[in-house]
Amino acid sequence: MALLGPIIKTEDGWDWANKFPSGDWTRFTSYVKRVRSLVYCTTDQTLQAACDPICYGVPARWRKYAASHHGQYLLPEIRKIDWACNENDQLEMILSFLSPKIKDIRIWTGWDVYSKMTDRVLIALRTMLPPGVRVFQFIPHDSMEPDEEVSESIQSLVESLDELQEIRLPGQQLAPFMFKPGRLQVLEANCNLDSGIKINDILSQLADTCSLLEHLRILFWNGSNITFSDIRPLIRCSKLRSLDMEYTEKFNVDEIEIREMGGAWPELEALHIASRRRSDDSGDPGFGMPFSSLVLFADSFSPKLRKLGLYIDTQDIPAPPNPPVTFPNLEVFHVGSSELDIEKAKLAKAFDFLSALLPQGIEITTSDFWMLYTEQSVFGPGNRGPGRKSWNVLSRMLAQGETADILAELDQTGPWDVD
């Protein structure tokens, strides 16, 4: 924008109303031919970037320019668009920036973008996007409450894009129209267990259709529990590099199943199994994964595993494994909303066990159950909460490699005051 010269930037954005150039557009024409990607953001919560607002009068003026210089294409060489917006008008503006060469389009919408406008834009994208699009992502603010009309428009759009390799639709029910044979490598969708969907059947179809699948994320919701039998067809996805399964209820795997997963996914680098769960009020001793199961994960999975997220049951903490077993390359250990009592004896025991398993200096990360952006992975930036103070203390002990001084502080300050 700064290259346009005659247009002046103000506190409210670029002043198109008063300083819009009416003369020579040569410089602008030269510039837009070099643009390959565009980031538009009216909220920095999602893209983690500082963004300049664009005045509402811009699209009409730009379309007038585009009509006389590039047909309907303002940015004729654009390949990628990241678009995060909070209002209806802002979402509609994306249509002005499309081109026949677009390959990658990612959209986030906020609370003030209504389903009617979303549906309108999706229908327009169906007619305007070229068939060669490789990446399509659409993340609405209400990912867990998909609108029927919007869902139908998304399906129609995705069905028209035969060359998609990456599909991220956390607000859309997992369905066969997403399965692009011989192409799909990345898939993200949700799964409403109360919808009558047969998880095993749909995942079996996914595994049989998408042999190149490397990254899979499913947001399960409703229902009361998930078992390994439900997801067993994924064992056939031998190229998986990341598997991220979000769920707030019970979802555990036993020793045999852990070993089966480890053997089936030799390339796996990230694994998340429902770490952000609701508080366990049922008294079920098996609500979380046993602490001891970490030994099985370390022993069964390839050294390529770098990120692991689990909901851990901390009631029974075993002694360090003998013979020793470790995660040689683990970089992130995420315990989500797992509960841990802030007792000196328990913290010391947990330290002894984890310091034998985890690489030195690794940090334990946590999430609150009521995370606002559950459609984002726990491994993503900015999507981890402070969690319980006990985990923070334990993480500090692991990072510093010592316990005595830190545990001594619990006697001098309230247990919830330790930083």
- What is the spatial distance between Cα 295 and Cα 262, in angstroms, rounded to a whole number? 12
Nearest to 225 by CA among 249, 246, 202, 201: 249
User: Containing H/E element for 27?
Assistant: helix 26-32
Phi-psi region of 354 (alpha: psi -120 to 50; beta: other; left: phi over 0): alpha
How many Cβ atoms are within 10 Å of 349's Cβ, its own excluded?
18
Are the CB atoms for 207 and 180 separated by under 8 Å? no
**Per-position pLDDT tens, the chain of length 419:** 444 444 555 666 555 555 555 545 666 677 778 889 988 887 654 444 444 444 444 555 555 665 565 555 778 899 999 999 988 988 988 988 898 999 999 999 988 898 999 999 999 999 999 999 999 999 987 654 667 889 999 999 999 999 999 999 998 999 999 999 999 999 999 999 999 999 999 999 999 999 999 999 999 989 888 999 999 999 999 999 999 999 989 999 999 999 999 999 999 999 999 998 887 655 565 789 999 999 999 999 999 999 999 999 999 999 999 989 999 999 999 999 898 988 888 999 999 999 999 998 888 888 866 554 566 788 876 555 555 788 888 988 888 887 788 887 776 555 444 44
pTM of the model: 0.87
DSSP secondary structure letters along 104-170: EEEEEEEEES-HHHHHHHHHHHHHHS-TT--EEEEE-TTTTS--HHHHHHHHHHHHH-TT-SEEEEE
pLDDT for 9: 55
- What is the spatial distance between Cα 362 and Cα 343, in angstroms, rounded to a whole number? 22
Nearest to 292 by CA among 349, 245, 231: 349
Tokens of 397: 């002990």
pLDDT for 204: 98
Strand arrangement, sheet containing 135-139: 37-41, 80-87, 104-112, 135-139, 166-173, 186-192, 215-221, 242-246, 270-273, 307-310, 332-334, 364-365
